[in-house]
Chain A
């Protein structure tokens, strides 16, 4: 009689996650929970985030308790209807624990791949979800990587095919960025779409990646099904150069942490591993010059060079703009005075990373625009 018993498992947020700590349950045993409801806080070596229930039902049993660390795929709790007795639930939990194999849970994890867009120039990307004609394509910002979407890509890949790239100059992609102009990165992203035979995609771009997504949507309008721009560049001159310069120059964990903390409203979720990954990325040959060139071309004299706001008038694809009110990198005031037909969402108590800080809400917005 385990047909109507449903497990809630430790999610996998990002490539490196092997285990997670259940910091605190936000619900009680016996509560009726709904799909999408935040039911617990989970901490990984990289980040702490609210965990959304994957299902609707009655939460009968906590298996993983507050403060416990368990592997990805391990049983956190059991949902079952009233008529399932405790002994049956006991049996289900026992069977799960007896049959749980660590490697099996990790084996299903996707790995990033690379594709050549020109001889000697490759792009690293991560794809998840089943094939579709119009996948979601995530484009990160300055200094970021595909893993910035760890709280979005896997969640959205349940319903959609998704790609997340490392832009040129970033992560595991080529460190050659040509003249370093935004439009050059746009063309390289478009080459990636061609190489992957992605005819049309729903673009989700963050910060510099938002500018690239918007540039791509106006220059290659047939290839863009919708646009979700998160704290994008190109909507005003202001940008926090303390962040940009600090990101480029700081090599020590503590000093870099102070810079990275500018990204979010509540810095307690930033782990030492996240800082260490950024330092390791910055050490790779070619990264320093690439980041400096991007800065010099796109933020000369401490201001944004690209003015993309007027391009909004030419857009044909449905577009939404998402910002955090407490963004300390690019002010949320850049979202003011935009055309009425755009959907604009500004979150309180949120910084420059709404897709991490408000992952569940942003995922719902992306899902809605993709579904049309």
Chain B
């Protein structure tokens, strides 16, 4: 056990799985750096350094720098997965999915179904998401609801370094295509992470706080904001249950329904745009299944329905904050809070 960053935890998971299983390969743009050109090898390790150190250890045959063509290398990874390898492909920013969505949702996601269950596609797509990086509207989106919508894909959103290592390990060992969403503002966040390999099962939510008054369901980086809000509200005598579903597909509906039944109140926190996102999905689930247990209308805390602004002041305003979560909690509790 030692203190590791989110970045180191992801790197360690990939490293240990590559050591354990030689079918695991990684590919993407500049994930090592310098392939086929003079200059420094392993200079990059991906744009934010997650895969640094893999190429010197495992060699160019298993760590592939690809051309800048997402449709080519994501398609390549899907085919390699269907024919015996276990590729981990880095789709840099999720905003770039537009050029390779056919490879993902028409091909990788469908193989198992189209081939009558006889084909498996153990493909992992790593991708960065999220605002707060001053990277504007084409490098800051939270597009996980789009992937969650597609049957045949699994979608994981690790909310800290411990989760990152366990969910990445689980993704590489899974026989279906998994998209891992890494929030770019979290790479330097540190915590105790076991040195040994471990997987965290998909579809098992983590209840990070237990309280009586309101249930907060939050996704990815928003889990940390929800925890902060819950801790801060405690001083006012308001106790919250916080649920981190960990994966949006599969979704642990059981834990969500059980904890919302107990408190009777729900605030969903989602950094994605408010239409057809995880917040609407969870709100619909709760309204449909346990409407009679609710003591107050469900409240959503999300980004607004507009592109991520480039203006730093507007970007800060755009992202859900602890203050907005606390205000939502007080609102569902009604007057007097």
Contact = CB atoms under 8 A, between A and B. Distances in A.
Are A and B a genuine interacting pair, yes or no? yes
B19 to A, nearest CB: 12
A101 interface: no
A272 B210 CA distance: 9
B84 interface: no
Contacts of B255: 252
Interface string A25-41: 00000000000000000
Interface string A319-345: 000000000000000000000000000
A275 B201 CA distance: 17
The 10 closest A-B pairs by CB, nearest first: A283-B198, A285-B197, A284-B198, A284-B196, A253-B207, A285-B196, A285-B198, A284-B194, A251-B204, A283-B200
Contacts of A14: none
A172 B198 contact: no
A284 B207 contact: no
Interface string A231-256: 00000000000000000000111100
Contact of B197 (A251, A272, A280, A284): A284
Contacts of B196: 172, 284-285
B199 interface: yes
A51 B99 CA distance: 63
A172 B204 CA distance: 24
B1 A251 contact: no
Interface in A261-279: 272
A283 B166 contact: yes
Given A252-B255, A284-B197, A285-B196, 17 more contacts: A172-B1, A172-B196, A251-B201, A251-B204, A252-B204, A253-B207, A254-B207, A272-B210, A280-B162, A280-B194, A280-B198, A283-B166, A283-B198, A283-B199, A284-B194, A285-B198, A285-B199
Contacts of A284: 194, 196-198
A283 B199 CA distance: 6
Nearest to A283: B198
B239 to A, nearest CB: 13
A279 to B, nearest CB: 9
A252 B199 CA distance: 14
A284 B198 CA distance: 4
Interface in B184-215: 194, 196-201, 204, 207, 210
Contacts of A251: 201, 204
Nearest to B254: A252
A252 B206 CA distance: 8
Interface in B139-181: 162, 166
Interface of A: 172, 251-254, 272, 280, 283-285
B328 to A, nearest CB: 24
Interface in B231-268: 255
Contacts of B194: 280, 284
Interface string B66-80: 000000000000000
On chain B, which size bracket covers the interface?
A: 10 to 19
Contacts of A272: 210
A280 B206 CA distance: 12
Contacts of B197: 284-285
13 contacts: A172-B1, A172-B196, A251-B201, A251-B204, A252-B255, A254-B207, A272-B210, A283-B198, A283-B199, A284-B194, A284-B197, A285-B196, A285-B197
Contacts of B199: 283, 285
A278 to B, nearest CB: 13
A349 to B, nearest CB: 27
Nearest to B192: A16
Nearest to A253: B207
Nearest to A175: B196
Contacts of B198: 280, 283-285
A363 to B, nearest CB: 27
B303 to A, nearest CB: 30
Contacts of A280: 162, 194, 198
A252 B254 CA distance: 11
A284 B207 CA distance: 20
A175 to B, nearest CB: 8
Nearest to A286: B196
Contacts of B166: 283
Nearest to A252: B204
B55 to A, nearest CB: 25
Contacts of A252: 204, 255
Nearest to B259: A254
B134 to A, nearest CB: 34
A285 B207 CA distance: 23
A254 B200 CA distance: 17
A72 B225 CA distance: 27
Contacts of B1: 172
B167 to A, nearest CB: 11
Contacts of A285: 196-199
A254 B259 CA distance: 11
A83 to B, nearest CB: 42
A172 B166 CA distance: 17
A12 B95 CA distance: 48
B127 to A, nearest CB: 24
A365 B166 CA distance: 42
A172 B194 CA distance: 9
Contacts of A254: 207
A322 to B, nearest CB: 30
Contacts of A172: 1, 196
B94 to A, nearest CB: 27
A311 B239 CA distance: 54
A283 B201 CA distance: 9
A102 B210 CA distance: 29
A275 to B, nearest CB: 10
A284 B1 CA distance: 12
A74 to B, nearest CB: 21
A280 B165 CA distance: 12
A58 B166 CA distance: 52
A372 B196 CA distance: 41
A284 B197 CA distance: 6
